Structure 1
Amino acid sequence: MTSLIPPATKEQPMSKSTITRLLPYGPVVALLIVAVHLGWEHTHGGVRSHHLLARADLPSVSNWWGLLVLPVLGWLASRSASRRAALDSRAAARSMAAFAGALLVGVALSASFITGHASAASGIFLAALAAGLVLPTYRAEYIFGFVSGMSFVLGSVLPTIAASIGAAISVVAHFLVRPGLARLLRTARA
């Protein structure tokens, strides 16, 4: 069977060397974010710790953990994006858009949290969870962007926990609910 698209217009996947060059950027960006954050905190009264659920009776998590958490998330995001880009030339742009969108959500949530607008923070977080029903927010690019956007306010660990909850909701929606509904619709039509 011949292709309807002439060979000259077929999209070619990225070469292996391009993918290999993309991999280090996620962890490098993450280390830069963490270094700036920890450097600023160190020179302004010391590196902070954050209590779980903002309750003093619960354990606290130091922002030093960002040196491990954020580079790992950056590496996972780079690796995931590079794998998809090897198969689809437009995947790299979609991964960057996913990172940027999640970064903006994280920054907006952080800004509303800092300024004391609890209702706005709740709305943004709930909207991000709802977006996971439609968008694949379980992907590493979304998680890395969200955590990067929130790391200056809450460190890396607590936003990673929040992003994991959102990712779990997105996984259930994309891999259980959607296929189940599709199967149900197919059987109803038959």
Structure 2
Amino acid sequence: MTRIFTQSRLLLTALVSLYIVAFLLWQHSTTGVPAHHLLHDPELPAISNWWGLLILPLATWCLTTLINKKYGLCYPKKVWLQLGAAGLYALIMTLLFYAGYMTLVSLLAVPFILFVALFFPVYQAPFLLAYVVVSSAGFGAFIPTLGGFIFAAMAYVTYHFIRPIPLWLFTQLTTKNT
């Protein structure tokens, strides 16, 4: 039992697994387990929240494996802060969506991620993991996983290919002035 607390991957996978089981059992016993349409369009297929039983533990295990390769078995404070920041972002977007501000969410979600990606590598595994897990409470597991990987790809391109352009211009301007 103490092994699970010394290894962050095992701890996170266990916590996410317990979370999704408890959440789905709660949904099943109250309102029933919903299904969500892609792009919130009834013409598109609906995907049941039951898929979260497979998607979330598997995604957690895979993403924490990537984190382990970079940081080791016990994560530093930086990783926990990244998880918290992305979780807070996902929570705010989910609450805004369910409060009826769907247009605001669609206007802010991608531009905000791309803006933040100019300064931070938000494509990394901790950000993606927290986004998927927290968003799954509002949208099931499939849609946030799909959207999260798309957001991560856009953030990767922004951080590695667009971000260097203003940095290069800034260095060029500062070297000419000296």
Q: Given the two structures, how large is their TM-score scaled by the length of structure 1?
A: 0.76
For 1:140-155, list aligned pairs within 5 A.
140-155=125-140
Q: How many residues matched?
A: 172
Q: Post-superposition shift, 1:18?
A: 9.7
Question: Does 1:164 pair with 2:149?
Answer: yes
Task: Judge conservation of contact 1:38–1:64 (CA < 8 Å) in 2.
Answer: yes
For 1:159, give the aligned amino acid.
P
Task: Judge conservation of contact 1:70–1:148 (CA < 8 Å) in 2.
Answer: yes
Structure 2 residue aligned with 1:115:
99
Structure 1 residue aligned with 2:27:
41
- Kindly provide the CA deviation profile for residues 163-189 of structure 1, in whole angstroms up to 9, marking residues without a partner as x: 112101111123333456667778896
Structure 2 residue aligned with 1:173:
158
2 CA distance for matches of 1:20 and 1:178?
A: 37
- Kindly provide the CA deviation profile for residues 10-65 of structure 1, in whole angstroms up to 9, marking residues without a partner as x: xxxxxxx9997222122112212211221111112321111111111111111111
1 CA distance for matches of 2:27 and 2:56?
A: 17
Q: Given the two structures, how large is their TM-score scaled by the length of structure 2?
A: 0.81
- Kindly provide the CA deviation profile for residues 68-124 of structure 1, in whole angstroms up to 9, marking residues without a partner as x: 21112211332222222239x9x6211111111111111111111111123442354
Aligned to 1:50, what secondary structure does the other structure show?
Answer: strand
Change (3 A) 1:21 1:104: same
1 CA distance for matches of 2:147 and 2:55?
A: 14
Q: CA RMSD in A?
A: 2.9
Aligned to 2:43, what secondary structure does the other structure show?
Answer: coil
2 CA distance for matches of 1:121 and 1:176?
A: 26
Aligned to 1:24, what secondary structure does the other structure show?
Answer: helix
Change (3 A) 1:132 1:73: farther
Structure 2 residue aligned with 1:102:
86
Question: Does 1:134 pair with 2:119?
Answer: yes
1 CA distance for matches of 2:128 and 2:92?
A: 15
Structure 2 residue aligned with 1:26:
12
Moved more, 75-84 or 32-41: 75-84
What are structure 1's unaligned runs of at least 5 residues?
A: 1-16
Between the aligned residues of both structures, percent identity stands at 27
What are structure 2's unaligned runs of at least 5 residues?
A: none
Residue from 82, 88, 109 that aligns with 2:68: 82
Moved more, 92-101 or 78-87: 78-87
